[in-house]
Structures are given as structure tokens and as C-alpha cells.
Amino acid sequence: MKNSLLTAVGICLGCGVLNAQEKVDFIRDIQPIFEKSCVKCHGPEKQKGKLRLDSKDSTFNRASDSQVIVPGNAEKSDLHRRVALPQSEDDRMPNEGDPLPKAQVDLIKNWINQGAIWPDAATFKTAGSEKKETKLPDYKPSAEELKAIAQLETLGISARPIAMNLGWREASFHLLGSNVTDTTLAPLKSILGLVDLNLGGTKITDAGLSNIKSLTNLTRLHLERTEITDSGLSHLKDLQNLTYLNLYGTPVTDSGLEHLKSLSSLKNLYLWQTKVSEGGVGNLQKSLPKLEISRGFELKPPEKEPAKEPAKEEEKK
């Protein structure tokens, strides 16, 4: 009896640990890591070790080695083993530059252990395609912009160049999560060379988004899992270079989509677990016919079975 009780307690504790671990989303959490640190050597132009990490099929259907990613088991996955190696090891990934931060290594580990789910909707950007899409000229930051970048650095946020010898920058507030508020965003309004911004999972509000309305060079914006509403999206209407917008898990409705109709460059919009309707999506699609809109997989309530008529009692003879 005692052993059974201990076993039950152990199982419950194990369940608590699993429930506490946040679900890792490939497009939100893993794809940016691959794009930034992996596809340079494992992408369309170069495939070290005959490995491509910019394509679901190429990654999982490698005839030469099926152990790169073993869904459900990070310990048996060569990808996790290599990104977790110290900088002194020749086999570590990425082989050039700094090792991945521990937070990113943990994301990859958790993603694999959770089944390595890779949505078909995931579309990778590359350095070449990004340059072709945005057609941005060379950029040199002003003194005011450099001051704002330094101000973000004191807050633990890096607005770093997207490539060597380029003035265009990207910034991610995602890892600071709930520590990021509207006040944290204040320096952004001066960083006009920002092209990639990740505010996912932060505590920003509609008012905070006013700090990015002047960032007209922005091409990618993550707002998933924030409290941004329809009103906040009004600050995006002048971001004419925006090609990617993620609104997953926000309380946005059909009214908010009206503010996006002027974004003629928008190519990918993610609306999973929002309050938009099929009609609202269709209305936006009419204004932006080339826009790819993903609402994710939505569970529909099971249809009720028709009530069965009570069986008639046999007539007594």
C-alpha cells in the first residue's frame, strides 16, 4: 500500500514537471535560430555534411543519417549534441562564431523532446532572399541611433547587425519575457535601421507599440503571446516594408485586421488562437490576395449524435 502511494505521488510530481514546461513553437522559437545560426552552412547554398536545416523534408528524410533529429529524444539527436558542445570542440555547431546561448540550446532540446513538430507552413528566409525582398540600400546609423542602441544594451538587449559590415539591425526582446514593458521599448523609436523585431511573450501594451510606428524599414515583427489588441495594430499601418507578422495568441479581432490592409508587402500572417473569424480573414485576403494567412488547426466541437429512441417493449402475448 505504501509503495503504491509513493508511486502515485511520483507520477503526479512528474506530471507537474511536464505541465510546467512551456510548449516550444517551431516558427516562433526554433526557426529564427536556424535562420540566424544554421542555414549559412546548412541551407540552399551550402550543405555541410549533406545537411539542410531550411527544409523539413531535407532535414528528416536524409538517407545518410537518420539520427540528426530523433523526435521525442534529444539525447539521441546529433543536432542537440553538437549545439550543446563547448566552443573548444571541433564538432560543435555552429562551427563559426560564438556557440548558441544556453537558452537557445534548451529550446532546441525541449522542441525535440516534445516531438520536433515542424509545421508545413514554415517558410525560411535567407540572407539572399531577404535582401531581394526588402531591396534596402546600404544604411549608416546616426549618432542618435547609436545612442539608443547603447541604451538597449544596458537593459540586456542587443540590437545587432543582421550581417557583417551592414548597418541594418535586428533585436529580440523574447528571452526577457515579462520583464519587457512599454518603458523598455522607448529607445526603439530612434533605431530606424531596425529590420527584424521580436517582442513575443512580453508585457507590452497597445501604447508601447507607438514606439515602432516610425520604423518603416521593419520587415519582420513578432507580437505573439502579447496583449496587443485591435487598437495597437493601428501603429503598424505605415510599415510598408513589413513582410512577416505574427499575432499568435493575441486578443486581436476582425476589426484589427482592417489596419493591416495597407501593408502591401505583407506575405506571411499568423493568427492562431486569436479572435478573428473566417469572414474577417476572407475580407483581408481580398485586399491582400498574395498574403498567406495561417489560423492554425482549430478544434471544432464534436457534433451531437441524434437522440436514440427508447427501445419499445415487446408486446405481451
- The tens digit of pLDDT for each residue in 198-257 reads 999 999 999 999 999 999 999 999 999 999 999 999 999 999 999 999 999 999 999 999
Over residues 32-56, mean pLDDT:
82
**pLDDT per position as a tens digit, 160-213:** 888 777 789 999 998 888 888 999 999 999 999 999 999 999 999 999 999 999
Domain range summary for the chain, segments of one domain joined by +? 23-113, 127-294
Give pTM, 2 decimals. 0.56
Fold of 127-294: 3.80.10
- Reported as a pLDDT band with limits 50, 70 and 90, residue 299 is very low
Q: What share of the chain in percent tops pLDDT 90?
A: 43
pLDDT beyond 80 at 103: yes
**pLDDT per position as a tens digit, 5-42:** 444 444 344 444 444 457 898 888 888 888 888 888 88
pLDDT of residue 184: 92
- Reported as a pLDDT band with limits 50, 70 and 90, residue 308 is low
Over residues 62-73, mean pLDDT:
72
More confidently predicted of 56 and 303: 56
The length of the chain is 317
Rounded to whole angstroms, how far apart are CA atoms 104 and 77? Answer: 16
Residue type, 119: P
pLDDT of residue 2: 45
pLDDT of residue 66: 55
* Inter-residue contact 252 to 281 (CB < 8 Å): no
Range from 11-20, 61-70, 141-150, 247-256 carrying the lowest mean pLDDT: 11-20
